[in-house]
Amino acid sequence: MSWMDEYKRKLVPVDEAMKVVKSGDLVHYGEFVMASHVLDAALAKRTDELFGVNIRTVTCPFPPQTVLADPERKHFIYNDWHFSGASRKLHDKNLCNYISLTYHEGPSFYDRGYVPVDVAMIKVTPPDKHGFVNLGTSNSITHAVTDASKIVICEVNESVPRCLGGLRETLHVSEVDYFVEGDHKPLINLPELPISDVDKKIASIIMDQIKDGDCLQLGIGAMPNAVGAMIAQSDLKDLGVHTEMLVDSFVDMYEAGKITNRRKQLDKGKMVYTFAMGTKKLYDFLDENPFCASYPVSYTNDPATIRQQDNMICINNAVEVDLFSQVCSESSGVRHISGTGGQLDYIFGSYFSKGGLGLICLTSTYKDKDGSLKSRIVPTLTQGATVTVPRSMNYYVVTEYGIANMKARSTWERAELLINLAHPNFRDELIKEADKMGIWVATNKIQ
């Protein structure tokens, strides 16, 4: 049988494909913007007849209909490996749970049988002339999920860019059990984040650390976007990219002639990533572009891979940092807001990269719900806050007041450095709190 005949045989109406889901199954959705709202809506139609279906996803950008149809969680139990804004809001209503993950380990959980997947439901491109569908913008853990799954269902969507590899960026028709014709709607576009003057100040400090030929990893947020914008307008050249997430700012840097990937030790000439989220500009850039290479996260985020790239400059955000230099980047107290993601991977890997820098970046203050100014440099992490990067692994911390290296520093040295990075309005109080905690601080060194 030809792959085309096999494809036609497996192409079924969406409601027929959903019949394979049974009560008690573990159903895995696609990741990021490759989550299928078409398959989710069809599964939601079966709410009344299914019980205890465990749904897992990675950063689903929309609230699933299966969750909204079942507010008592009797039928569908929803879990996310890394919260999106939608998952965060569902979590606040006790409709979503977080699954702890150091990102590069993700595929191993499926390889080792820790996650026994019954049904995988993902979005893909139409088959190419060789019978391969492409996983689009989310390589990540997707192939590990489909390998582990008893049944694989694919929504075919013509709007999905064909993202070249890399490694394991495709599935052959023979690896899929059912195909469903999608609605071919464009992928979700992320809203543009406003860049503040403080973001620009932090970005300018980071810019002083970047030189020709460096290899970049950027996290999500306004401040990394500010860095990308500044690089695009700079005199830097021959930059490389080895990142977890690919965003629009990389396109801007490429179009400005700043990215060549010529000086990389691995994947020379390739812009390497594991997933992409942004706007149509990014998705169009990725489509059949041989300059870009999509890899599983077990490759892109493995510290053993990261350390092989010289001059890795890894830029990530944080919620708060305490005077012991512990970093929380994923929760506000007990309220979970994102996930560990790849931050720990890149902070650890960058330290062993020749010339590498792992930067934890945050504004020194924020305003609470009442409009009061609060410090992000705190004596101890907020009660219930998750430690994303332990103090022993923290490398550099950056605020609008400067940059400081945490490595090989005593407790009092770290406290002094961090107090100097705090907003001046909070420094005296931080000194008092450090004293209460038994951290001796030489106040004459506090600027």
Q: Which residues pair with 429 in a beta bridge?
A: none
pTM: 0.96
Residue 186, token pair as written in the block? 């464009």
DSSP assigned state of 224: H
- Which residues in the chain come in under a pLDDT of 70? none
**177 with 152: CB under 8 angstroms?**
yes
Residue 302, token pair as written in the block? 């493995």
Q: Which domains does the chain have, with CATH numbers?
A: 3-181 (3.40.1080.10), 197-445 (3.40.1080.20)
E strand or H helix at 65: helix 65-68
Which tens digits make up the pLDDT trace of 281-319?
A: 999 999 999 999 999 999 999 999 999 999 999 999 999
- SS3 label, residue 170: strand
Please provide residue 127's backbone torsions phi and psi, each rounded to the nearest 5 degrees.
Answer: -65, 145
- SS3 label, residue 222: helix
d(CA 13, CA 256): 45
Residue 137, token pair as written in the block? 């913008």
d(CA 220, CA 54): 28
d(CA 51, CA 69): 13
Distance from first CA to last CA of the chain, Å, rounded? 75
**164 with 156: CB under 8 angstroms?**
no
Q: How far is CA 233 from the centre of its chain?
A: 26
User: Is 244 known to be catalytic?
Assistant: yes
- SS3 label, residue 311: coil
Q: Which residues pair with 28 in a beta bridge?
A: 56, 120
Mean of the per-residue pLDDT values of the chain: 96
Residues shown for the chain: 447
Residue 345, token pair as written in the block? 């991977």
Residue 195, token pair as written in the block? 């860049």
Residues near 363 by Cβ (< 8 Å), separated by ≥ 6? 196, 198, 199, 202, 223, 376, 399, 400
d(CA 119, CA 149): 6
Q: Which listed residue (155, 169, 244, 433) is catalytic?
A: 244
* pLDDT at residue 373, as a whole number: 96
Q: Where are the alpha helices (DSSP H) in 93-235?
A: 106-111, 142-148, 197-207, 222-232
Neighbours of 436 (CB within 10 A): 9
Residue type, 77: I
* pLDDT at residue 392, as a whole number: 97
Which among 78, 116, 109 is positioned nearest to 94, based on CA atoms?
A: 78
Which tens digits make up the pLDDT trace of 141-157?
A: 999 999 999 999 999 99
* pLDDT at residue 52, as a whole number: 98
d(CA 447, CA 44): 58
Residue carrying structure tokens 């107290």: 333
DSSP track, 4-61: HHHHHHHB--HHHHGGG--TT-EEEEEEGGG--HHHHHHHHTTGGG--SEEEEEES-S
CA distances from 262 to 125, 158, 214, 258, 380 (A): 30, 33, 10, 11, 43
CB-based burial, 269-285: b 16+ in 10 Å, e otherwise: ebbbbbbbbbbeebbeb
DSSP assigned state of 168: S
d(CA 108, CA 185): 32
Residue 146, token pair as written in the block? 């489909």
